[in-house]
Amino acid sequence: MAPHYAEGVYECEIVAQGLNTSKTKGTPGVFVDIMPRNGQYDRRIQWWITDKTVDFVIRDLRLIGFAGESWSEFDPTSEKFYDFTGKTIQAQCKYERDATDPSKVYERWELPYEGKPRETKLLDRKEVRKLDMMFGKQLKAAKLEAPAAQPVAPPTKEELEAQIAADIAADDGIPF
């Protein structure tokens, strides 16, 4: 489907949800269908559940308020079904190119991520000295060179006259 919505973050209402499988590999997944506020067409946020993605899927489901302890609680036919319909969330539309035909562009909907700062440990003086001993020569050898100045031709008489005329025209609106 060609993009309908512009890239960006939208306030959306969840209109449906469920569990499904991918057509090609049979990978299990979970989805929410969303309707952007003042939008015409609903869209789907799809999460495929694999060993590599399960932690991200759980994180996203917790972000939208899923407190369940079983995947069945996401299934509308379950007794313990957790119903998200009517809930308002923020969703982000991004564009992706088709892998087989780069001329085709599709919308990809997901939760917007607010990156949290990574925890880092500052180097103490001893560690900085060690770093200098290990790589200081390379840093010193890679001196920053100023870019060569590019010669610029002086403006022609016609260019100067045009610039002066433009400046005078721009000054007409000044009240003093």
Given a contact cutoff of 8 angstroms between Cβ atoms, the answer to whether 10 and 91 are in contact is yes
The residues, ordered by sequence, that sit 6+ positions from 36 with a Cβ below 8 Å of its Cβ are: 5, 10, 11, 12, 43, 91, 93
Please give the pLDDT value at position 169. 59
Q: List beta partners, residue 35.
A: 13
Kindly give the confidence (pLDDT) of every residue in the chain, 176 residues in length, as a single tens digit, with 9 standing for 90 and above: 567 899 999 999 999 999 999 999 999 999 999 999 989 999 999 999 999 999 999 999 999 999 888 999 988 888 999 999 999 999 999 999 888 988 899 999 999 876 665 566 777 888 878 878 887 777 677 665 555 666 667 777 777 777 777 666 555 555 54
Say what the pTM is.
0.62
* Length in residues, the chain: 176
**Burial (CB count within 10 angstroms: exposed 0-12, middle 13-18, buried 19+), residue 46:** middle
pLDDT value of position 3: 76
Q: Per CATH, the architecture of 8-110 is what?
A: Beta Barrel (2.40)
Q: Nearest 10 degrees: CA dihedral of 22, 88, 42, 81?
A: 40
* Domain positions in the chain: 8-110
User: Based on the number of CB atoms within 10 Å of its own CB, is 146 exposed (0-12), middle (13-18) or buried (19 or more)?
Assistant: exposed
pLDDT of 115 reads 62
Closest by CA to 45, choosing from 65, 17, 67, 3, is 17
